[in-house]
Structure 1
């Protein structure tokens, strides 16, 4: 079962990317800040909780999609591990290294140590972050994903949830120990870790024969019953999401005087207080995921009734294909476009009436990212082709220069 068959995941990836670009970074850094017009709670709901649900969605999709692919399960041989690492490496690091160079040029930080910058090269910045300094903006996400992928390799050996869940808890306890004893592992690793594990768990349930049997039995009773259940999930989870968001906002302010997790962690209120704060935020992410995925399932059912299924899925897939590059490079692209618009047209990007201009940057970001991703994939494909051709040429030379077994035997006789 491939990820293409689940367009809801692709739409969620697109929505998450748009939240980061349109609701978080553009109004925060490069255009009119509409948060000045909002109440404190609304600002928390859109901005602080918004970035959490967006990044949490990315990470949930990663865990879910990894386990969904049969080739990623039970990495119990050198060949399987090699193929997994190779595929992940080629998917992430070429564009990430390009982005890293760009970010180091645009956002230089003399406070970072050489060791910490080397850690960025290998995608290990989130392990060394507290001790080494602050990870580079935006691309800190790669530092989390790389570690989660390594953890996934270990969990892929395990057959059942009875093993996956306790082992994942032990792994988390190990990272907590590193944080307490050596000031390693940045707080965002813990903020999203359980969401990644949840993605793996839900994927395992989704592909299980038991889930298939339950779904088939529901359809036998009433073919509309799955849709009714999904509607109920939307009606319950979305209101609960807002109720919990209000409670979390009030609770954090009354207990810590802030609703930012990094500020709560910096105050060192105690392990159980920090853990409960993280769990509240994670529960909000889970409710968001239940609500939005259920809603997207219904939306896709409607769209498939109106348009051809293959065509609409293809459009969604193409846009989703651009999200990795859009996430990595949206800041540099926005900066460049802002300089061009301001310098050539003398437009004040921070004026309220010009905010729509910043929104015009969004399709440009996605188009550029699509081209960049396509170029990267073609370059990798060309490299592989040349490598295989070179190997074939070497084999051919060896076969020509080395006599066959029969030739050797006849020579000996």
Structure 2
């Protein structure tokens, strides 16, 4: 399936806007939005990201040969890792993470070692799910997926309880990952309605928005710090939305051109 699933664009855009323009802005405004409802909604939005990612990949990929597993992992790494590493470097340069956190994050080990990583922990988690997905999609079957899921969850639990390794987040968000695969392979859900050019443009930039929004906030607060928490929220939202959109779109488009050019060169060679 290569058709664009417009409903998922709407869902993804809503989720990313909530996370970066409500939940994370709250970190800069003395947690004025923090309560059980907003916290629960943040977890739901992150669940949505995991679901959408696994759903789309499970829809668009079938793996029938071992070499296709390597190709799948390579393609996901090219898609995700360079931009993630750039964000990680910028987090370090703006003193939002320590050198130790940077090094652990650069090797995508924070989920394995159960260490903290501001915001970007989610990318490390998603990449582990990509590795798992490559195995699940290999000659896919539901029963085999259930066995793999059980073994993965049990291994995470044992390593966490015995050695303090493995972030519990891997297990917390795994159900969304599993359901995304299940829906893609077993259910025929019509996600193709709701076409919107604006939403499609925003959806295109969501990955970079997530990676770089704290960098934009850092820069804006270096320029000006409002007097009240409420005004900080207004300032970061009003200035941050256009700034983040243009920066994210530019970064994503530029990176896509680099990848496309590199692919053409490889094909010629």
Q: Which runs of 5+ in 2 are unaligned?
A: none
- For the pair shown, which has the larger CA radius of gyration, 1 or 2? 1
Of structures 1 and 2, the one scoring higher in RCO (CA 8 A, sep 6+) is: 2
SS in 1 for 2:63: coil
Distance 1:191 1:107, change over 3 A: farther
1:32–1:352 CA contact under 8 A, matched in 2:
no
SS in 2 for 1:34: coil
**Is 1:74 matched up with 2:72?**
no
Report the equivalent of 1:107: 95
SS in 1 for 2:33: helix
Report the equivalent of 1:259: none
Report the equivalent of 2:77: 89
Alpha-carbon distance in 2 for matches of 1:197, 1:182 = 26
Distance 1:16 1:66, change over 3 A: same
Give the drift of 1:73. 1.8
Report the equivalent of 2:10: 11
2:26–2:32 CA contact under 8 A, matched in 1:
yes
CA RMSD across the alignment: 2.4
**Is 1:200 matched up with 2:165?**
no
2:91–2:97 CA contact under 8 A, matched in 1:
no
Structure with higher helix content: 1
Give the drift of 1:187. 1.3
**Is 1:34 matched up with 2:32?**
yes
Report the equivalent of 2:202: 319
Written as runs of structure 1 = structure 2, the 5 A alignment for 1:132-211 is 133-134=115-116, 136-207=117-188
1:126–1:143 CA contact under 8 A, matched in 2:
yes
1:119–1:125 CA contact under 8 A, matched in 2:
yes
Written as runs of structure 1 = structure 2, the 5 A alignment for 1:387-402 is 387-389=266-268, 391=269
Report the equivalent of 2:259: 380
Alpha-carbon distance in 2 for matches of 1:353, 1:139 = 26
Alpha-carbon distance in 1 for matches of 2:74, 2:148 = 25
Alpha-carbon distance in 2 for matches of 1:49, 1:375 = 35
SS in 1 for 2:108: coil
SS in 1 for 2:166: coil
Report the equivalent of 2:41: 50
Alpha-carbon distance in 1 for matches of 2:223, 2:64 = 49
Written as runs of structure 1 = structure 2, the 5 A alignment for 1:211-230 is none
- State the Cα deviation string for residues 98-121 of structure 1 (Å, max 9, x = none): 001011122365583xxx644411
SS in 1 for 2:24: helix
Alpha-carbon distance in 1 for matches of 2:232, 2:90 = 27
SS in 2 for 1:27: helix
2:160–2:166 CA contact under 8 A, matched in 1:
yes
